[in-house]
Structure 1
Amino acid sequence: MGAAAAALAAPLLLAAADLAVPPRSELNRPWPFFTAEEPDEPPVRAPADALKSFAMPPGYAVELVATEPLVQDPILMEFDGEGRLWVMELPGWAHNLSMENSLEPVNRLVVLDDSDNDGVFDKRTVFADKLVLPRAFKILAGGCALIGEPPTLWKACDTDGDLKADTREKVADGFARLGVLEHGANGLFWGMDNLLVVSEHEWNVAYRAGQFVTVPGLRRGQWGVTQDDAGRIYRNVNTDPLFVDYVSPDYFARNPDLVRTRGLYENLVDQEKTNIWPAHPTFGLNRGYRREVFRADGTASYYGGVSSPLIYRGTRLPADVQGMAFVADGATNIVHLLRLKDDGQGRMAAEDYYARGEFLASTDVRFRPTALAGGPDGTIYIADMYRGVSQDGPLQTDYLRDYINKRGLARGTGHGRIYRVVHVGANGAAARMPRDARPQMSRDTTASLVAHLAHPNGWWRDTAQQLLVQRADPRSRPLLERLVRDRKTDWRTRLHALWTLNGIGGMQPALALIAMADTRPELRAAGLRLAEPWLATGDRKMSKAALALAVDANWQVRVQLAASLGALPAEQRTAPMIALLNAQGDDPVLVDAALSGLKGGEMAVLTALAGQAGAPREALAMLSGALAKRRDAAIGQLVAMAGDAGQPALVRNALLDGLALGLAGGVQAGGNAVAGGRAGGNIPGVTRQRGGGSRFELASEPRGLAVLADGKDALAEPARKLLALVTWPGRPAPPALPPRSAGEEALFRRGQSIYVEQCSGCHQLQGQGQATVAPPLAGSKRVAANGDVPVRILTNGLEGKIGLMPPLGSAMSDEEVAAVLTYVRQSWGNTATPLPPAAVKEWRLAFAHRTTPWSEKDIDAPQR
């Protein structure tokens, strides 16, 4: 094994002299590049002309390796063990001039092959067709693939070797909802721990005893999944490019009482500091009407629809980008590069790699990168759907729909391109690039697959592991064990060997102990996870080795220990959990990892921690939050503790905050607000409709809490917040209309004056309306609807059954519109939320392109 591994450390190459040069973008053109030209109707460019639209840093270029008709409407891609590229095609997306999604079976999973090995794909085979809006696929061994076709996850197989699926079996129901594309399940990324991660979904997929089964997870991410050499999972959301999982989702899924899940899906990029640099004006975004947040040249400074993160783990691009994160932003026609950094403790952070300029920027508005993939040749491939539209009709704002229609961007579908990134040096002298030799893994022996775990290109290691797990050849076990035990072997190889052994049922307690004692923290953390079956039995030797890592120098190891403690028998769990939280209980990630395994034991741990000097506030808050979310009988006791003046202020504050958080349901995951309002769907200053959940009933009035709420110290406000979430026998019911803030009250009073002066003549003083003049506002569904509806009616007008409601608000300021609508929405029994001026400004801009009043049909249709 040693010789084979050493040989593969320098991968086999195809001689540069034998390689043709595919069509390539221009090297070393001015960069960063920008053009102010905006064609009235951007044309569909031929592939050769599209290549001229690209600008990249010095020394980089892209090569065109596939184009229509060989590939059409590509959205996802992955290489198989033979070096073939599998591509999911989605011609049914935004398929007509209305940009609707077709529910007809017109989509496909195809396999592209380079039959003459010249670096350009020349053969196309349709593996599976007649698919309805598929969202994900995963290549498997034996000519099979998982296919996520909402609402079903299928396993499709080619049984006769022609690369065309002839069998299909259902793996699971509930794989997203049909018709929901942007927020539907996707991913099926085979992680190093052999969990197939599904983004935007409540379950993941595991491979056990030759079968794929669903396992509980938590909904995170939006489009795309990747991993680094340590096996950490990375995802994204529409307005943020990179999140990491420090803790596997299965830990958090085991305890639904958690009020927070720090360590799962941690944002790595500071919104205030990251910027993008498109090569042309980019007003064609859903929020493109927010012109004040664009640069003077018309370029967006923030992502318009980021997707498909890829941690580069290849060998053919310069060393300085290895381990860095690439993301696609099809809405602004770029591929962005982020510098990924580890603080040496396992805490990750990311920042823009270039202070100004993009890794790849196109002046062609139809360049829509949808997926990035590492390849067996050690470089990066980019799938370009090549569409004028990057947002389908159901989720377009009215502004974007108008923008697209005026420019004819919905026309010109059925195209698609695949590019390969190359680096030929700053001087551009080298015309050809060597590439790693093409794999033939389905024909490789088990020993050869094990040897591939030492390959420097992460694609080879990942693919070899997946094939070994599915092959489950007993002959691989001694070879893998030898790698684990050989400390001279690269740590990445040993990590893959550990997880491969676990995947084939070959993990032994001795190997977990070896991993926990390793010098590399990645191995120690993995050893803890792999030790859990023996921790669950109370194995003393394993428990001792695990607990010794409570003082490990590496943060990631300590966090993993916090999660793994939950595997211990319940009676053995409490004492080490108290010790760990007492020492490190103000680390939010470690706290949430620990609490994930403490279901049912929170009160004992909380009581022990609260009684110690310098109690960890973070742990106390989350423990009390879990109890409150579960609506545990201990809530009354905790409320009494919070109101007890004899308790330390720190303990009381933690209990107040935790109880309020738990009774309110916990922290809401996700969200798409962006600093400065640069992107995203959330409107600055607009809150969700208030009111809702039932109060928790206490046995009697919490007098200590009431006294605290009436005070003026720092505990008064959190006490009032908690008091609003509880009730007791004899307490009056809460008012239907929550109290207005001082600012809201000022708006209300001003709005009353405006209403009496300008609106009451038609709608009457009590909002009762007049049969042939104006509809009633009291009890009106449109008044109480999402805030954009009344703003649009008031500022654009409404043509209704009674007649025309004129656009009176067009002559009002944002503050005046906000004031009168706040008054109307909170008078005569109406209980809708107030509207801040910022919301009025937003919706006025969003529909500024309209020159005619709304129809009743249009005003009642959902808007983005």
Structure 2
Amino acid sequence: MKMSKFTINNPKFKVVFLSLLGLSVFMVSFKNISFEQPKFSLENYKVEEGFELKLIASESMLKAPVSMDFDNKGRMWVVEMIGYMPNLEGIGEEIPNGRIRILEDINKDGVIDRSKVFLDKLVLPRALAHVYGGLLYVDGPKLWFVEIINDKPGKKTLVDPVYAEGGNVEHSSNGLMMNIDNWIYNANYNFRYQLKNGKWIKEPTSNRGQWGITRDNFGRLYYNNNSTQLQGDFVLPNRVIRNRFFRPTAAENQRLTNNKVFPIHPTSVNRGYQKGVLDDKGMLVDVTAACGPLVYRGGAFPESYNQNVFVCVPEANLIKRNILTFKNTQTTAAQAIEKKEFIASTDEGFRPVNLFNGPDGAMYIVDMHRGIIQHKAYISQYLTEQLASKKLDTLQNAGRILKVTHKATKLNPVPDFSKASAAQLVALLSNSNGWLRDRAQQVLIQKKDLSVKNELIALTKNGNEFSTAIHALYVLEGLNALSFDLLSDVVKQSKQPETIAHALGLMERFATTQQVAKMKEISTQLLAQTNETIDLYLAVSLNPWLKLSEAIFLPLLSEIEKKYADRRIFQEAIVSSLEGKEEKYLVTQNPTAVLKSNLTLAVNNHQKKEMNPIFVKETNVVDNRTKGLQLFRSICATCHGADGKGIQELAPPLKGSEYIDGSMNRLAAIILHGVSGPIHVSGKLYKLNNEMPALINNKAISDQDIVDIIRFTQNAFAKEGKNISVEDVKKMRERKPVGNGILTEKQLLEDDFDK
């Protein structure tokens, strides 16, 4: 056996050729390779003074990224949603071409130089999370958990078969964020998840936002929707929704700031033709596609940036910065620098859709980098023409990951959590970087190492701005190492109201008759402090104690009520806590007018069996626009074409048609009763040999379905969209054409359908 070998002695490369039995094997030592860095110019990007923007991965390494997470080694895992709007007609979205990639910086120069596929053949994947030592991810409507074995997928577990059922991709569940309370929360879905004792738990929570979710150090959640830049909850999740027959309106889903936006160039937006959408210079006035919010908790920006909220505005090619202000039980946000954005670009391909804190303290931007960011169900003819004229519809399958750092701050070294000891992980709970604290908390729970229990207990008595005590409490909770006495000590000794708030919630599981006297003493002591945060969370935590002793705890709840009689958030907290005790409270405690009204509403809802929708809703409902698109494609597009341009010898075009731009009642009549014979459209005669089929006898198609079809055509093909009601459609259903019941061109032109 003969083997020959030669080496190229180049400092950038170490290449070895082995010739064995006439076959050549090409071997590369990656350690010494100098990879070509992505080309990127900052000329089209304006970044706030003091900060730097760096491209660390581009389309040579990934395509159409929409979300990401870091593993325990600090590597990036990126979701590629390649199937989203592959063309202006949105045809082909169901193709399983989505992927999850692992991105690595092998030579540690800060730029990704290795990319490998972990999972492929996914349908519109939109979120992932490294949790419980594996990967939680979305594939089509399903939520999966997969074990990771040497960077390869192992055993798969179906967590939720209907996770993203219903709606289009812009309105289906995403986010998958582990919160400090050991629960995984979502955007656009009313359920949260947890793996406990080997079983996945799914339970209702409030529905939040549209795309992206984030949290502050305390554990409150923040989110947004297309037209609302930033929303948030004033309270911790699941604390004011205990009463199934009452829906809070003051404690959750609050708008925190205005929607003003300050782009540096005119951009193509969906409703740009409507008054007030653009200013006289063609600049966007308010957000129309806000998404991917992030509370910065990285610890590597100046102190004044801690817990600022950054928001993606992809339609205007920018990222906003808001300063959060916490005042007792309320939160507000405001533009950081007047009329100036944190990042603004004139590159119309810059499409930031998600933001993340990194293990090094930097902020990471997921830039989908594409032309079309509006789903077909919603895209207007105006935007379609704008994108086509700029050839933005040809910008496909690109994508970038950008990194934001501060020039005066050194980034943190990234520890390898897979090799960290329990003691090292406990130390990380006090780190200024929230990502490190969060991951240390979860890895400590996975280790199940009780040798650090005393160190964790000691941390629960500490108070700092990084919520170290709260992290320690939930590590102990995950290790099943909590007790009533331990939590009682935390409540009595802590000087931090936020820590007390969490401890009170954790004490609920220990509510027993034997602890009633101690809880009464604790409650009395807490009320004497007259602290709004403590009083609010005491109110919401008394629910299980009320079931043990109404005589003791109803008067305590009444004391809180009277103290905050004009505060709606407190009144809602009390209604939540009084689940099942509303009538008793009404009779015995003489509630204020506000609380009396809310309690009466809850009682009436209970009698009518009308629960808060989150307790009855299992899947996302298909919105009318998406339903209209689906019906159009299944019924109309076969002849008129998915693009509405018509098909030769089958049907005339819809775009530019007087029947689309004219009377809506006439259009409804056409859909219901069909059309027979030659017909002129836009001055051209179409001599068709077939009849347009009527839907009037199709029992599967409702009047609302007809409305949805028409509204879709108005959005997609009309010069100026018009509305129609179900009542209008009913009238046209009853107005049958004379003769054989099918409309002719003569009838369409001569009849006044709007009479």
Shared topology, TM-score over 0.5?
yes
Once the two structures are TM-superposed, the CA of residue 173 in structure 1 deviates from its matched residue by: 2.2
- CA–CA separation in structure 2 for the residues paired with 1:77 and 1:221: 19
- CA–CA separation in structure 1 for the residues paired with 2:704 and 2:414: 64
Q: Which residue of 1 aligns with 2:112?
A: 121
| 2:349 is equivalent to residue 374 of structure 1 | no
Cα 1:193–1:536 shift into 2, 3 Å: farther
- CA–CA separation in structure 2 for the residues paired with 1:541 and 1:128: 53
Q: How does 1:123-202 map to 2 (within 5 A)?
A: 123-142=114-133, 144-159=134-149, 161=150, 163-177=151-165, 180-202=168-190
Q: Which residue of 1 aligns with 2:542?
A: 565
Identity level (%): 28
Q: Which residue of 2 aligns with 1:48?
A: 40
- CA–CA separation in structure 2 for the residues paired with 1:596 and 1:266: 18
2:506 pairs, out of 516, 521, 530, with 530
Instruction: Give CA-to-partner distance per residue, 1:477-523, whole Å, 9 cap, x none.
Output: 222112224x4777622221111111211112233123323211111
1:299 pairs, out of 261, 275, 283, with 283
Q: Does the 8 A contact of 2:456 with 2:473 survive in 1?
A: yes
Instruction: Give CA-to-partner distance per residue, 1:455-483, whole Å, 9 cap, x none.
Output: 11111111101111222212232221122
Amino acid aligned to 2:480: G
Q: Does the 8 A contact of 2:51 with 2:405 survive in 1?
A: yes
| 2:66 is equivalent to residue 75 of structure 1 | yes
Q: Which residue of 1 aligns with 2:580?
A: 600
Q: Which residue of 2 aligns with 1:240?
A: 228
Amino acid aligned to 1:443: K
| 2:300 is equivalent to residue 316 of structure 1 | yes
For structure 2, the residue ranges without an aligned partner over 5 or more in a row are 1-33, 618-622, 626-662, 680-691, 735-744, 749-755
- CA–CA separation in structure 2 for the residues paired with 1:580 and 1:324: 32
Once the two structures are TM-superposed, the CA of residue 364 in structure 1 deviates from its matched residue by: 1.0
Once the two structures are TM-superposed, the CA of residue 156 in structure 1 deviates from its matched residue by: 0.9
Q: Does the 8 A contact of 1:100 with 1:392 survive in 2?
A: no
Instruction: Give CA-to-partner distance per residue, 1:14-44, whole Å, 9 cap, x none.
Output: xxxxxxx9999xxxxxxxxxxxxxxxxxxxx
Is the partner of 1:214 in helix, strand or coil? strand
Instruction: Give CA-to-partner distance per residue, 1:108-151, whole Å, 9 cap, x none.
Output: 11111111111111111222222111222111354x11112243
Q: Which residue of 1 aligns with 2:76?
A: 85
Cα 1:333–1:484 shift into 2, 3 Å: same
Q: Which residue of 2 aligns with 1:60?
A: 51
Is the partner of 1:410 in helix, strand or coil? helix
- Select between 122-131 and 449-458 the one with higher mean Cα deviation: 122-131
Q: Which residue of 2 aligns with 1:703?
A: none
Q: How does 1:270-419 map to 2 (within 5 A)?
A: 271=258, 274-282=259-267, 284-343=268-327, 345-419=328-402
Amino acid aligned to 1:599: E
- CA–CA separation in structure 2 for the residues paired with 1:458 and 1:396: 38
- CA–CA separation in structure 2 for the residues paired with 1:94 and 1:623: 47
Q: Does the 8 A contact of 2:314 with 2:353 survive in 1?
A: yes
Equivalences, count:
639
Instruction: Give CA-to-partner distance per residue, 1:767-810, whole Å, 9 cap, x none.
Output: x9x9999999x9999899659959999xx99xxxxxxxxx9xx9
- CA–CA separation in structure 2 for the residues paired with 1:544 and 1:458: 35
Q: Does the 8 A contact of 1:101 with 1:392 survive in 2?
A: no
| 2:486 is equivalent to residue 506 of structure 1 | no
Q: TM-score, normalised by structure 1?
A: 0.67
Q: Does the 8 A contact of 1:186 with 1:199 survive in 2?
A: yes
- CA–CA separation in structure 1 for the residues paired with 2:265 and 2:278: 12
Instruction: Give CA-to-partner distance per residue, 1:247-288, whole Å, 9 cap, x none.
Output: 34434554321043432222211x3xx421112112x22222
For structure 1, the residue ranges without an aligned partner over 5 or more in a row are 1-20, 25-45, 426-432, 634-661, 670-679, 683-757, 798-806, 832-852, 857-864
Is the partner of 1:580 in helix, strand or coil? helix
- CA–CA separation in structure 1 for the residues paired with 2:72 and 2:611: 51
Amino acid aligned to 1:276: V
1:218 pairs, out of 201, 206, 209, with 206
Q: Which residue of 2 aligns with 1:691?
A: none
- CA–CA separation in structure 2 for the residues paired with 1:94 and 1:353: 34
**C-alpha root-mean-square deviation of aligned residues, in Å?**
4.3
Q: Does the 8 A contact of 2:122 with 2:140 survive in 1?
A: no
Is the partner of 2:169 in helix, strand or coil? coil
2:607 pairs, out of 613, 626, 631, with 631
- CA–CA separation in structure 2 for the residues paired with 1:595 and 1:493: 31
| Aligned structure 1 segments of 4 or more residues deviating by more than 6 angstroms | 21-24, 488-491, 662-666, 758-761, 770-776, 778-785, 790-793, 821-824, 826-831
| 2:518 is equivalent to residue 541 of structure 1 | yes
Is the partner of 1:461 in helix, strand or coil? helix
Q: Does the 8 A contact of 1:784 with 1:830 survive in 2?
A: no
Amino acid aligned to 1:413: Q
Q: TM-score, normalised by structure 2?
A: 0.76
Q: Does the 8 A contact of 1:59 with 1:424 survive in 2?
A: yes
Which structure carries more strand by proportion?
A: 2
Cα 1:781–1:450 shift into 2, 3 Å: closer
- CA–CA separation in structure 2 for the residues paired with 1:760 and 1:138: 49
Q: Does the 8 A contact of 1:106 with 1:131 survive in 2?
A: yes
Q: How does 1:635-714 map to 2 (within 5 A)?
A: none
- CA–CA separation in structure 2 for the residues paired with 1:135 and 1:828: 43
